[in-house]
C-alpha cells in the first residue's frame, strides 16, 4: 500500500514578480513528487510567469485566499466562507507567499484544521496584524538572520530558509553580443549593472549619484538599470539623468525577462537598497553565480549574502561610498578579481543553492505534520 502524499497548497497573489513567482516555481518544480503533492492558489492568470506556473502541471485555483476583516462581523462571515473554500481543496499544509500582513488566510486555515506556514520576505512590520499572523502560524520562514533577531526572537516557530537559486542556469554564460550592440556597449568599461524594480526603497537614486561621481574618471563607463520603470518615480530619475547629461551613459532598460544576458555583459553588479533593508534579494545571488563582481548596501538581507565579503558592502544611501567601491573594483588586480569571483561562486553553492533550500523546506513540512501526530 502506497503512503499518502503530503498535499501542499501554495498561495501567492500573482505571478507578476520575477523574484517571488520565480522562487515559488523553482521550489515546486523540485519538490519530491513521490512524497509531496503541490497545488497553487492565486488571484488571477496575468503575469509573465503564469505560463511557467501552468507548465508545472499541477492544480491551479484562481480565487481569493484572503478576505477583509472589517467590519468585524462581516469579517467573521468572510473568514468562514474562505475556510469552507480551503476545506474543499483540503491540503495538509498551506504555505503562504502572500507578503502582506493579512491574517484572514491563517484564521481560515485554522478553522479548517489545516496547518499554515508563511514566508517572511521583507523587513516591514508596521502593524499588530503581523503579530496575529505570526501567532496563528504553525511555522514561519524568515529569509535572513536579522528578521529572526528583530521579529521572531521570542518564538521558536521560525526556521531560517534562505532563498536558493539554480546554479546551472548561470554557469558559463557567454557574452551576449546582441545586447552589446543594442545598448552600444562595445568598448565600454566598467559596465555596471543593477537589477531591481525602480521603487524608492531600492535606492537607485543613490546609485545614479554614485555613478556620476566617477563619471569623469572613466570616459566609457556605463550603468544599466534593469527593472520595471513605468512609474512616476522612475520618470523622476530619468529626468535627473537627463539634467546631468548622462543619458548616453545611464541606460534604463525597463523590465526584462532574460536577465542572464545582462549578467553576461556586466563587469560590476551593485544593489543599492535603502536602510529599511531587504528580505533576500535574488539578484545578488544570481550575479555572484554568474561570475560578476558584486557589491551591496550594508542593510538587512543583503548583509547575509556578503557574510564572507564584508569589504564588498557599502554604507546605504551614500553615493560617495558607492563611488568608492566602483573605484576599488576597477583598481583590483586581475588575479584578485578572478579569486574573488571564484569565492563568490563557492559561497553561493554552499549557502544559496536551490537544493539546499528544498532540503530544508521538505524537512520543515515533515516536521509540521509530525507535530500534528
Average pLDDT over residues 123-141: 92
List b or e across 222-242, with b for residues whose CB sees 16 or more CB atoms inside 10 angstroms.
bbbbbbbbeeeebeebbeebe
**In the block, which residue shows the cell 569565492?**
343
If you write DSSP's letter for every residue of 295-311 in order, what string do you get? EEESSTTHHHHTTT-GG
- Give percent of the chain above pLDDT 90: 87
The yes-or-no verdict on residue 62 having pLDDT over 50 is yes
Question: CA 102 to CA 264: how far, in whole Å?
Answer: 39
The yes-or-no verdict on residue 68 having pLDDT over 80 is yes
* E strand or H helix that includes residue 225: strand 222-226
Is CATH 3.40.50.2000 the classification given to domain 6-164+353-372?
yes
Are 179 and 265 in contact by the 8 Å Cβ rule? The answer is yes
pLDDT-wise least confident of 2-6, 335-339, 340-344: 2-6
| pLDDT score recorded for residue 3 | 59
The domain spans of the chain are 6-164+353-372, 167-351
Question: CA 131 to CA 74: how far, in whole Å?
Answer: 22
- In the chain, the N- to C-terminal Cα span, in Å, equals 20
Q: Which residue has the higher pLDDT, 20 or 50?
A: 50
Average pLDDT over residues 194-217: 95
- Global pTM value: 0.91
pLDDT bucket at 48, cuts 50 / 70 / 90: confident
pLDDT bucket at 99, cuts 50 / 70 / 90: confident
Cell numbers at 68, concatenated: 477583509
pLDDT tens column, 146-190: 999 999 988 899 999 999 999 999 988 999 999 999 999 999 999
pLDDT bucket at 1, cuts 50 / 70 / 90: very low
| pLDDT score recorded for residue 182 | 97
pLDDT bucket at 265, cuts 50 / 70 / 90: very high
pLDDT tens column, 273-297: 999 999 889 999 999 999 999 999 9
Residue 317: CB atoms within 10 Å: 16
| pLDDT score recorded for residue 372 | 58
**Cβ within 8 Å of residue 111, ≥6 positions away:** 79, 80, 83
pLDDT-wise least confident of 102-116, 142-156, 202-216: 142-156
Question: CA 19 to CA 41: how far, in whole Å?
Answer: 18
User: Which of the 8 DSSP states describes residue 334?
Assistant: H
| pLDDT score recorded for residue 373 | 53
- Give percent of the chain above pLDDT 70: 98
Are 6-164+353-372 and 167-351 in the same CATH fold?
Answer: yes
Q: What is the 3-state secondary structure (H, E, C) of 82-139?
A: HHHHHHHHCCCEEEECCCCCCCHHHHHHHHCCCEEEEEECCCCCCCCHHHHHHHHCCE
Closest listed residue to residue 116, CA positions, set 244, 258, 8: 8
**Three-state secondary structure call for residue 152:** coil
pLDDT tens column, 78-90: 999 999 999 999 9
Average pLDDT over residues 312-325: 98
pLDDT tens column, 356-373: 999 999 999 999 998 755
Cell numbers at 205, concatenated: 537614486
Question: According to CATH, what is the number of the domain 167-351?
Answer: 3.40.50.2000
| Mean pLDDT, the chain, whole residue set | 94
Average pLDDT over residues 256-274: 95
The yes-or-no verdict on residue 304 having pLDDT over 80 is yes
Amino acid at each position: 500500500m502506497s503512503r499518502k502524499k503530503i498535499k501542499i497548497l501554495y498561495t501567492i497573489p500573482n505571478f507578476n514578480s520575477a523574484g517571488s513567482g520565480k522562487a515559488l516555481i523553482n521550489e515546486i518544480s523540485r519538490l519530491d513528487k513521490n512524497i509531496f503533492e503541490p497545488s497553487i492558489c492565486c488571484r488571477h492568470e496575468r503575469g509573465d510567469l503564469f505560463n511557467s506556473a501552468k507548465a508545472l502541471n499541477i492544480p491551479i485555483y484562481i480565487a481569493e485566499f484572503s478576505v477583509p476583516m472589517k467590519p468585524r462581523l462581516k469579517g467573521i462571515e468572510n473568514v468562514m466562507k474562505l475556510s469552507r473554500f480551503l476545506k474543499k481543496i483540503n491540503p495538509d499544509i498551506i504555505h503562504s507567499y502572500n507578503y502582506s500582513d493579512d491574517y484572514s488566510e491563517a484564521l481560515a486555515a485554522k478553522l479548517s484544521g489545516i496547518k499554515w506556514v508563511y514566508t517572511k520576505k521583507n523587513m516591514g512590520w508596521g502593524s499588530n496584524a503581523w503579530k496575529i499572523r505570526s501567532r496563528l502560524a504553525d511555522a514561519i520562514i524568515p529569509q535572513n538572520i536579522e528578521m529572526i533577531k528583530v521579529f521572531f526572537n521570542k518564538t521558536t516557530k521560525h526556521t531560517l530558509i534562505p532563498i536558493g537559486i539554480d546554479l546551472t542556469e548561470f554557469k558559463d554564460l557567454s557574452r551576449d553580443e546582441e545586447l552589446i550592440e543594442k545598448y552600444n556597449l562595445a568598448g565600454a568599461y566598467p559596465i555596471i549593472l543593477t537589477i531591481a524594480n525602480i521603487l524608492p526603497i531600492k535606492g537607485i537614486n543613490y546609485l545614479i549619484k554614485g555613478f556620476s561621481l566617477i563619471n569623469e574618471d572613466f570616459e566609457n563607463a556605463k550603468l544599466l538599470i534593469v527593472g520595471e520603470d513605468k512609474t512616476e518615480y522612475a520618470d523622476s530619475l530619468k529626468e535627473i539623468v537627463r539634467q546631468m547629461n548622462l543619458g548616453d551613459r545611464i541606460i534604463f532598460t525597463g523590465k526584462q525577462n532574460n536577465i542572464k544576458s545582462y549578467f553576461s555583459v556586466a563587469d560590476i553588479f551593485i544593489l543599492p537598497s535603502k536602510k529599511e533593508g531587504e528580505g533576500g534579494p535574488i539578484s545578488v545571488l544570481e550575479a555572484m553565480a554568474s561570475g560578476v563582481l558584486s557589491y551591496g548596501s550594508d542593510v538587512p538581507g543583503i548583509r547575509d549574502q556578503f557574510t564572507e565579503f564584508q569589504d564588498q558592502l557599502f554604507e546605504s544611501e551614500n553615493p560617495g561610498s558607492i563611488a568608492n567601491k566602483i573605484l576599488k573594483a576597477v583598481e583590483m588586480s586581475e588575479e584578485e578579481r578572478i579569486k574573488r569571483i571564484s569565492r563568490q561562486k563557492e559561497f553561493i553553492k554552499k549557502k544559496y543553492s536551490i537544493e539546499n533550500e528544498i532540503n530544508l523546506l521538505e524537512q520543515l513540512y515533515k516536521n509540521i505534520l509530525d507535530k500534528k501526530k
